[in-house]
Amino acid sequence: MRRLSLLTAYCLLHIVYCILPTTLHAEGVEFHSQMGFLRLSLTDCIEMAFKNNLDVEVARLNPRIGDKDISIARARFDPVFKSTGEIRKDETPLNSIFITGSAPGEYTEHRKLMDATLTSLIPTGATISIQYNNLRNRRKPVSKSTVPINPSWNTFFEAKLTQPLLKGGGIFYNMSPMYIARNDKRKSIYAFRRTLGDVANSTQKAYWNLVKAIEDLKAAHKSLQRAEEFLRRNKLQVEAGLLAPIEIVAAEEEVSARREDIIVAENAVRNREDNLKQLMNLLSLEADPVLMDITIAPLDTPQFLPKKISLENSLQVAQERRPELFENRLALENAGITEKQKKNELLPKLDLEGGVNYSGLGSNWRDAQDSTWAYQFQGEYAKLTLEVPIGLRAERANYNKAKLSRRQAELALRKTEQDILVQVRAAVRQVHTNVELVEATKKTRVLAEKRLEAEERKFAVGRSTSLEVLRAQEELTKAEVLEIKAITDYQSSLGELEASKGTILDFFGVVID
């Protein structure tokens, strides 16, 4: 709700409010709204879509999730501290006259134990462990000749290292989860760029579709004005006795048909307007009702400025800029990392373990510590453990699965490259086609105007009929609509071309922080 409130404040800067229902006149077209107008340029619409579009919001969170995945992968190297405290009393019968003085006799042992262990995994796969034990033991009854220190303190300290030499060993194997997590985050950033590009492209197409619908509505109003003017002239000529009354019927029928066209065109404007509002997240249950019912008045008009487009350059730029290619390359890299992981797991397990330990004994805790760190009682050891599983069915299956996944990633990359090639070629052709269509429809519209002028002159001297004049008017309206469509399609195709090259954000001056 906070963001929608900010959006409302942002939009209200563009709105012209009127207490009474407002009417906007633009070349014979009237737009009515109870609330006002939201005058937006194409850049404004794209900016609002980037700030509020739900797809953008979803994609914006993925890199942050990727950061957490990296932290999770790094956490396996965090040291772990474990401590245990125990108090224990055991009463047991003992068959020894050396300890109890009689047999059998009751023997009681009081134990207080404190144990602390610190373990950590390092990138080579080795596990470092440091263990410290402190035990206080009091026995009852005990003969001084057999147990001279009672109660006694025993201290034990050990440091050891266990290094896998084959399976599970090596920096690459143990750092692989972090490599994959980092690549996944980079993939999410490219996916975010791709989402922004898709939203920008959809917004610019929706914007020009709305412009086209408004221009179609203007053309429909012009057509109605021509039909009404023709009807007015026919009525005057019928009243003067120069035309038969049947001519008025044909003109009135045409006026009615032109009004139907306006109704259809107005509905098309509202539909295109809703499409644009949806991209800017102005149509939702949480949206401000003011913005849901507002009328969008585009500030930009379609311009026909032919550009020279090079197919070779466009293809080269697309290979360097399309986010999908980077996503697929990172996916292929991750698949290769996973394959190497699974190959390592086919090896036998050969672990080298070594350590050193110190022990101490005393009648109190301090004496036990002094005894321990005086290095009087020291031990060293080295151990080599070999483990060879029989079968390795699961490991072999996982390795083969990883190889197939890497092959899939390779094919997906090739398929993406192929799709981009087709999209760029189609986009370049569409731009060239639209340039030709604009020039052709412009010529058709000029000829339709000349034909209408000729039919009106012929009708004025009785050499044509009302039907011919009305038909010429209808053809002119069609030509105007087609010319408008060709120009707006040309503008839209330029954005589509930039989207196919992966440069649409640069085209609209968008910088990702």
Q: What is the per-residue pLDDT across 336-381, written as a single tens digit (0 to 9) for each? A: 999 999 999 999 999 999 999 999 888 888 888 888 888 788 899 9
The answer to whether the CB of 459 falls within 8 A of the CB of 230 is no
pLDDT at 386 > cutoff 50: yes
Mean pLDDT throughout 375-396? 90
Name the phi and psi angles at 383, rounded to 5.
Answer: -140, 140
DSSP 387-445: E--S--HHHHHHHHHHHHHHHHHHHHHHHHHHHHHHHHHHHHHHHHHHHHHHHHHHHHH
Q: Which residue has the higher pLDDT, 101 or 301?
A: 301
Long-range contacts: 392-399, Cβ < 8 Å, 24+?
392/346, 395/342, 395/345, 395/346, 396/346, 398/342, 398/345, 399/339, 399/342, 399/343, 399/345, 399/346
What percentage of the chain exceeds 70 in pLDDT?
Answer: 87
Contacts of 243 (CB under 8 A, 6+ apart): 234, 237
Mean pLDDT throughout 268-275? 93
What's the confidence (pLDDT) of residue 26? 34
pLDDT at 106 > cutoff 50: yes
pLDDT at 37 > cutoff 90: no
Q: Which residue has the higher pLDDT, 224 or 97?
A: 224
d(CA 471, CA 448): 10
d(CA 48, CA 67): 27
Domain segments of the chain: what residues?
2-69+177-333+406-507, 79-121+126-167+349-387
Q: What is the per-residue pLDDT across 277-301, written as a single tens digit (0 to 9) for each? A: 999 988 876 666 777 778 889 998 8
Rg (alpha carbons) of the chain, rounded to whole number: 42
Lowest mean pLDDT among 149-163, 246-260, 433-447: 246-260
**pTM: predicted TM-score of the whole model, two decimal places:** 0.81
> If DSSP codes are grouped into helix, strand and coil, which group holds residue 237?
helix
Lowest mean pLDDT among 128-132, 229-233, 316-320, 330-334: 229-233
Contacts of 193 (CB under 8 A, 6+ apart): 323, 505, 512
Q: Which of 145-149, 221-225, 460-464 is most confident? A: 221-225
CATH number for the segment(s) 2-69+177-333+406-507: 1.20.1600.10
Q: Which residue has the higher pLDDT, 237 or 491?
A: 491
State the average pLDDT for the chain. 85
Confidence of residue 15 (pLDDT cuts 50, 70, 90): very low
